[in-house]
Structure 1
Amino acid sequence: MSISAPSAESRATALSFENLTVSFETEFSEVHAVKGISLEVYPGEVVALVGESGSGKSVTSTAAIGLLPSNANISGKAFVGGVNVVGLAENKMRKMRATEIAMVFQEPMTALNPVLTVERQLTESLELHGLAYGKEATARAIELLKLVGIPDPHKRIKQYPHQFSGGQRQRIVIAMAISCDPKVIIADEPTTALDVTVQAEILDLLRELKDKLNTGILLITHNMGVVADLADRVAVMFHGSLVETGTVDQVLNRPQHDYTKKLLASVPRLAAVDVTGTWTPAPPDPVSLDRELVLEAKNLVLEYDMRGTKFRAVDDLSFELERGKILGIVGESGSGKSTVAKAVLGLLPVASGVLAVQGTNLASLRPKESRAIRSKIGVIFQDPAASLNPRFPIGDCITEPMVVHKVGTRAERIKRAEELLDAVHLPRTVINRYPHELSGGQRQRICIARALTLDPELLIADEPTSALDVSVQAAVLEMIQELQSRYEFACLFVSHDLAVVDLLAHHVVVMKDGKAVEQGRVSDVLHSPQHDYTRKLLAAAPVPEPREQAERREARRLLLSAEAQQN
């Protein structure tokens, strides 16, 4: 059950802001990023700071750790363990970092130095702050790796960041953050880049460390499931101001502000799940005689050639996707989801088996023939900023497939771009603007428009909403649904967000280590899973309701416990 924050009289805060205001001097005007916010984080408490991109969450946290750029103007107070860090001299602030306040960043590979061993990176702050040297520092580093759940810490401490998985790298970043026993940890989107199962492990770790070390945590996120799982209190930011604060139960179950209500309404919800395995599935859908198969895989094997050694990424996979349907492929990183999408796009050869688009086996095609087939396939990538050419105006970005496949005149291409801008609900006036002039959600709409330029029979969507805020994600998903029903293309939707797949897809394939462990209708597989791995995935997917999330966490604990006993 959620707890209310203790009064200021009962104990000191780990971190607090008093009327904090931050503005930035830009070439054209002054931008007010944070507008007089006041907030407290107590020892042993998790306060979630939520809101969309641009709301001021990260600027607030960066002010507390003294990392704002030189064009920032700061007023008000930010207390770290009783010391006001606003205006504090850089040499004093440097001494406070790691010992009083530490940060866990969103992307572990950018937070870790790729050319230094994990040992060097963990002992660096210990030596810098005079807490331990030499063998003593190494022993402390091994102890930290053990604390955050890295197996064989004595051996692995000598390795480099690239030799660890994404979840293990994030654990190392957390180990670095707690190395000097800080009073407060700022966790800035600590699980965004992680699978649901790895995310659940990181949240378990943060909860355990918070209780063990009595550290205050300021959690910055836009994932309401993570908030329900970890937070005690919630503060909602909108346009630089705090619009609502309260316990996690109050804010998520009884929101008062319209913006909070809108934010929560945008979160895709995973329907009730029966993880007991006692459910009897409904009879299969009758097979339509006139159904048109757009994509088919039979005993598909896909391999990567790694310096002469073959690594089998997909093994004996079979599925069917018909016109007008959406097939979701879910699983953890390394399960083979994106590898299947790459093979369909012709970016990876088929080792054996059949991968057919409209009855044509891609493995048997010559380059010229495969080019014609690829004109029937549209693709939406994960990161809209990286998939649009920054030097092309929007009109040229959208019509690029027409240019590549030599379709239409210049006038016809412009007309097609305008039609597609209408379809994705963007004004035609953006046709001459550049990608950097649009928001993340608008850029992803442009990517959807580009994918539909040649009226594809098949659309490949590889994690198309994972880089977006919840409300923008909701708008993009609604658009994919609307366009799919209008144009009736088949869609292969790759994702690790089970709630999104539940919302969009008709059928789903659950992959683990390159194999399909379970597949069928979404209503069967995601609501009444039969395989233990699917149950584990579903139990790890956080939901934005604290009590239900606590039940899921317990269900996941029981599943993992049963699995450990079997092994």
Structure 2
Amino acid sequence: MASQNRLTAPFLRRQTPAPAPQPAAPLLLVEGLSVAYGKQEVVQDVGFELGHGKSLAIIGESGSGKSTIARALLRLLPGGARTGGHVRFDGQELLALPERRFRPLRGRAIGFVPQDPGNALNPVRTIGAQAMEAAALTDEPSAVIRRALVLETFAQIGLDNAHRVYDSYPHQLSGGMLQRVLIGLAVLPRPALLVADEPTSALDVTIQKRILDLLSRLQHELDISLLLITHDLAIAAERADSLVVLKDGTVQEAGGTSAVFSSPASNYARKMHADVPALNPDRYARLRDPGFGLLDATNQAPKIEVSAVTKRFTIDGKHLTAVDDVSFSVPAGTTHALVGESGSGKTTTIRLLLGLEEPDAGEISVAGERLTGLSHASLRTVWRHLQFVYQNPFTSLDPTWSVEHLVREPLDRFKVGTPRERAEEVREALANVGLGEHLLTRKPGALSGGQRQRVAIARSLILKPDVIVLDEPTSALDVGVQADIVEVLLSLQAKLGLTYVFVSHDLALVRQLAHTVSVMQRGSIVEHGTIKDIFDNPRHPYTASLLQSIPSGFAGPARGQQPRSLQAFREEQIA
């Protein structure tokens, strides 16, 4: 009998199937999450999961609940907020966890990169002093080793002079450097999960790419799970393994990046796809094409002529050439774009064009009238035909004035028409930008970002100008609202024959909107031509680098080598 058992046992073992490997539990599991403020529920029944070392993007417009979800995960919601559902991190329920038990997780196990480094960093303390607080989360007792850890992390995230950054105050660093600092502080304790809330929304396109590349590299090198909050579908598609599309606090669509990006099932996701400039360069071709015909007209003088303009400033005894021998012309009824990174000279150029600065050399003319050397009274006359739309309408519009007062004020200043005629002009200007009369009595604080920008455009149109200068007019807006504003601008151009000078760092948007473009770097124009010439055949390396930074689809970064362990680093420092 024993012999029989010995013979049959192997056979029986072969016939018994081996236990199937159990799938690894997700690092983060969100089920039925809801968030309410009083009676208003701003997030309803949200669910998703994020695996170890994976990336997930939550995308949606302002007010969709993206940041609320991030803060719910981090237990950073304001007082009075109520949450429901389940949030499990590494198998542990977070929402029901007492604060004293959750606090050790925040920073150590769950890192956070906020949107605005200007608000996240203390302006009166050095970067090093604030970094040492993050280093304390490593539980390393030696202050010398904690400082060395900070410096190594700064070097790892691409800050060239780590010692200088360590000793600097926030105002002494650029926006891109500050964002890298925030990322460095978040990854220093080696968290398992990194939550990045719109980490590049205020940055130039090239710096945006560097920051996103850095996040992707750190995610793979450190085996961190990345939760990316963004309103840009193209960025999400490039950087995430899976996507959650959010609208009004509810999930519209969720799944793998390829499926959601290539074949969105929901109407909202399809609209988001259509609104991304990088994915739809010819969306406004019908409205823009008449302007290309005007470029070929050789029998008319340009509406704007900037000839060999130079502007220098003296700062702390040092001479800075902000604009160096800049020249371009703009035919009537077309849009000319000035593009380049921060500090390239775009803003100084438009200040010269508006007569807010006097050039040291060169000439500027609008509609054949030379602006250089004009008195303030003469410039005031020119400003009736040359208007300006600021980057941020919330700060450029008086918060105590009604919409009617804001739009009518230029008419009042120039004493145009009777009071009844002015009221009618205001209604017409609002109608031209797609706003109804019911908004006349509202103040800026009661308007959405898109409505405020439309009010700013209506205000610039009220004097019926020939030329409008637009300084990053959509940079603070969601892509959906941005698309609406671009359509308004191009429709007005086609209807009224307006000439635009459009300042932007967003080359994808420039391709949709402009007819000609000048690429600026360090105060000089390095390349100039039609949109087709510049985008299809860039000749300057700087232009090529700008174009390569435009997010356009999937790009999975290669997994890098694992970094040294904290223990190995300590041993090296002690030795």
What TM-score comes out, normalization by structure 2 length?
A: 0.88
Is 1:24 matched up with 2:15? no
Question: Which residue matches 1:263?
Answer: 272
Would the alpha carbon gap of residues 103 and 478 (structure 1) be closer, same or farther in structure 2, given more than 3 Å must change? same
Among 494, 501, 504, the alignment partner of 2:510 is 501
Q: CA deviation at 1:500?
A: 1.0
Q: Is the 8 A contact 2:117 2:179 kept in 1?
A: yes
Is 1:491 matched up with 2:504? no
Find the aligned partners of 2:293 and 2:487 in 1 and give their Cα distance. 27
Find the aligned partners of 2:362 and 2:31 in 1 and give their Cα distance. 64
Q: Is the 8 A contact 1:95 1:129 kept in 2?
A: no
Question: Which residue matches 1:533?
Answer: 542
1:405-452 CA-to-partner distances (Å, cap 9, x unmatched) read 332332222111100111111111111111121111111111111111
Q: Secondary structure at the match of 2:303?
A: strand
Find the aligned partners of 1:223 and 1:241 in 2 and give their Cα distance. 18
Q: How does 1:445-456 map to 2 (within 5 A)?
A: 445-456=454-465
Among 318, 323, 337, the alignment partner of 2:346 is 337
Question: Which residue matches 2:285?
Answer: none
- What residue identity is the alignment partner of 2:25? A
Among 133, 141, 150, the alignment partner of 2:150 is 141
Q: Which runs of 5+ in 1 are unaligned?
A: 1-6, 274-282, 555-567
Among 447, 452, 460, the alignment partner of 1:443 is 452
Is 1:53 matched up with 2:47? no
Question: Which residue matches 2:248?
Answer: 239
Is 1:325 matched up with 2:338? no
Find the aligned partners of 1:57 and 1:354 in 2 and give their Cα distance. 49
Question: Which residue matches 1:84?
Answer: 93
User: Greater Rg, structure 1 or structure 2?
Assistant: 2
Q: CA deviation at 1:126?
A: 2.3
Find the aligned partners of 1:90 and 1:234 in 2 and give their Cα distance. 30
406-415 or 206-215, which deviates more: 406-415
Find the aligned partners of 1:191 and 1:375 in 2 and give their Cα distance. 37
Question: Which residue matches 1:353?
Answer: 362
Q: How does 1:60-459 map to 2 (within 5 A)?
A: 60-127=69-136, 130-269=139-278, 288-459=297-468
1:66-87 CA-to-partner distances (Å, cap 9, x unmatched) read 1101121111122233322214
Q: Is the 8 A contact 1:272 1:527 kept in 2?
A: no
Find the aligned partners of 1:259 and 1:392 in 2 and give their Cα distance. 35
Find the aligned partners of 2:481 and 2:281 in 1 and give their Cα distance. 24
Find the aligned partners of 1:437 and 1:161 in 2 and give their Cα distance. 33
Q: Which runs of 5+ in 2 are unaligned?
A: 1-19, 283-291, 559-575
1:24-83 CA-to-partner distances (Å, cap 9, x unmatched) read 01xxxx211110111111121110001111111110110000110112111112223332
- What residue identity is the alignment partner of 2:244? A
Q: CA deviation at 1:529?
A: 1.1
Q: Secondary structure at the match of 1:425?
A: coil
Q: Secondary structure at the match of 1:37?
A: strand
Q: Secondary structure at the match of 1:467?
A: coil
Q: CA deviation at 1:132?
A: 4.2
Aligned residues: 530
144-153 or 8-17, which deviates more: 8-17
Q: Is the 8 A contact 2:294 2:332 kept in 1?
A: no
Question: Which residue matches 2:23?
Answer: 10
- What residue identity is the alignment partner of 2:309? L
Q: Secondary structure at the match of 2:104?
A: helix
107-116 or 393-402, which deviates more: 107-116
Would the alpha carbon gap of residues 80 and 349 (structure 1) be closer, same or farther in structure 2, given more than 3 Å must change? farther
- What residue identity is the alignment partner of 2:33? L
Q: Secondary structure at the match of 1:23?
A: strand
- What residue identity is the alignment partner of 1:19? G
Q: Secondary structure at the match of 1:139?
A: helix
Q: CA deviation at 1:130?
A: 3.2
Q: Secondary structure at the match of 1:363?
A: coil
What TM-score comes out, normalization by structure 1 length?
A: 0.90
Question: Which residue matches 1:277?
Answer: none
